[in-house]
Structure 1
Amino acid sequence: MVVYKITNLINGKVYIGATVQTLLHRKAGHVYDSKRHNGNINQAIRKYGKDNFKWEMLCVCYSVNVLNEMEKHYISLYDSMNIGYNMTTGGKHFSGSAEYRRNITGENNGMYGKKHSKETRKQYSKVRTGTKRSKETRKRMSIAQIKRRKQEKAK
């Protein structure tokens, strides 16, 4: 779990974030989101390009509570709500407890034992038809499939 800072190299504005993922994964998430969502940081990445941002890890945390507090601290320290890209004071990360996860899986899940109708499946198919995956995506999918097959053989 890390608190990180994204700095716009053109105008100096910053964004403070926190993640339970690696910084590399979160960076990829921001770049992906910038193509689809309209948060301040997403619009900035879209406008200036991902290469015009510097990514830094500010601190490593070992609990969600500390992660939340440190994110709030750094947002305040850098005043990134007023002169940066943050839209909230931060500290809103939720880590589902084991009990919570149990309550939303299996029979407690609204889709448990159900299947999508033929009409719904056709709609999904229609949306995906003609969509081309990049070579990079196809390569990642291939690697993932190879790993799955190796795991199945090992059982």
Structure 2
Amino acid sequence: MDAPAVSGIYRIRNTVNGKVYIGSAVNIRRRFRDHLRELHAGTHCNPRLQKSWAKHGEQAFCFEVVQIVEQKELLTSIETEHIATGRLTDPCRGYNICSTGRSALGLKRSDETRQKMSRWQIGRKMSDEARRKMTLSRIGRKLKPDHVAKLRAKRQSPEARAKISEALRKRPPPSEETRRKLSESNKGKKRSEESRRLMAEKAKGNRSALGHRLSDEAKAAISESQRKLSNHQVAEIIEKRLSGRTFKSLVEEYGCSVSTIRTAIRNAKEGRYGYSLPDPGN
């Protein structure tokens, strides 16, 4: 079910029993999505409609535009006429509870009211079932070209991006505890073949990921920076570190990166990959 982004009168019709709910909105598409979200979550403000939705299921309902109204100030009066004409407040005929249309169009709430509304939202959590239903409702839904164009138009300016980038660079690295938790949360996760394919397609053309080919010079530089140190060199490095030599001077002397030296020292302490600590007797 989908609807156009127009101002007007809409109805939600039950195809099983013929009952109808009439409403009005400045943006019918957005209002329809609000209805759908609340009905899936079981939190709709209209108990008649919510009960019927729970009984018959989403497949029994259709969303229809009744009348396009360009003059927004006439929405509530036209909505009221439709409710009265169809006698939709009668539970046998419709789902409307109020005999008159209601709208918040032009309503200005005080700061105190806004704060109360904000506090009321704090801590609200959706149930797992409601989340699952919302996810299912979004599967396969594609954004329309005009919506995509609007989102692209809202992209941040180069200056804003530069500020964000600078703020991220100054952000301290994650703690060891955070790293451990991230590692634990990702253990055992397996992506489907479809997910892998989509990730690969998305990464194509990304200079920092798949699709970017390194030059021979860059490959040689990376290879040189990651070359393995011999056991003898590791022993020398450990002795020089114990005597007070800095990592910077060792990097210049042995022509490798700091991470390579740190890794070699750690492996020597743990006795891995053929590395070993120097014999104190020599």
Above 0.5 in TM-score?
yes
Q: Which residue of 2 aligns with 1:36?
A: 43
Number of residue-to-residue matches in the alignment? 132
Q: Which residue of 1 aligns with 2:15?
A: 9
Q: CA deviation at 1:6?
A: 1.5
Q: Segments of 4+ in structure 1 off by > 6 A?
A: none
Correspondence list, 1:136-155, <5 A: 136=138, 150-153=155-158
Q: Which residue of 2 aligns with 1:65?
A: 73
SS in 1 for 2:12: strand
Q: Is residue 2:101 matched to residue 1:95? A: no
SS in 1 for 2:104: coil
Rg comparison, structure with higher value = 2
Q: Which residue of 2 aligns with 1:55?
A: 63
Change (3 A) 1:150 1:60: same
How far, CA to CA, are the matches of 1:110 and 1:26 in structure 2? 24
Q: CA deviation at 1:90?
A: 2.6
How far, CA to CA, are the matches of 1:44 and 1:30 in structure 2? 14
Q: CA RMSD for the aligned pairs?
A: 3.9
Greater strand proportion: 1
Change (3 A) 1:16 1:110: closer
How far, CA to CA, are the matches of 2:31 and 2:48 in structure 1? 16
TM-score relative to the length of structure 2:
0.38
How far, CA to CA, are the matches of 1:44 and 1:54 in structure 2? 13
Please, which moves more after superposition, 84-93 or 26-35?
A: 26-35
Q: Return the match for 1:75 from 60, 83, 86.
A: 83
Q: Return the match for 2:26 from 20, 37, 62.
A: 20
Q: Cα deviations across residues 30-62 of structure 1 (Å, max 9, x unaligned)? A: 122222235211221222112211221111123
Change (3 A) 1:58 1:104: same
Q: Which residue of 1 aligns with 2:226?
A: none
Q: CA deviation at 1:81?
A: 0.7
Whether the 8 Å CA contact 2:23–2:101 is kept in 1: the answer is no
How far, CA to CA, are the matches of 1:153 and 1:43 in structure 2? 50
Change (3 A) 1:147 1:13: same
SS in 1 for 2:101: coil
Change (3 A) 1:94 1:64: farther
- Structure 1's unaligned 5+ residue stretches are 117-122
Aligned residue identity for 1:28: R
Q: Which residue of 2 aligns with 1:120?
A: none
How far, CA to CA, are the matches of 1:63 and 1:104 in structure 2? 29
Q: Cα deviations across residues 102-147 of structure 1 (Å, max 9, x unaligned)? A: x649xx9659xxxx9xxxxxx849x68x9x784859xx9xx9xx85
Aligned residue identity for 1:10: V
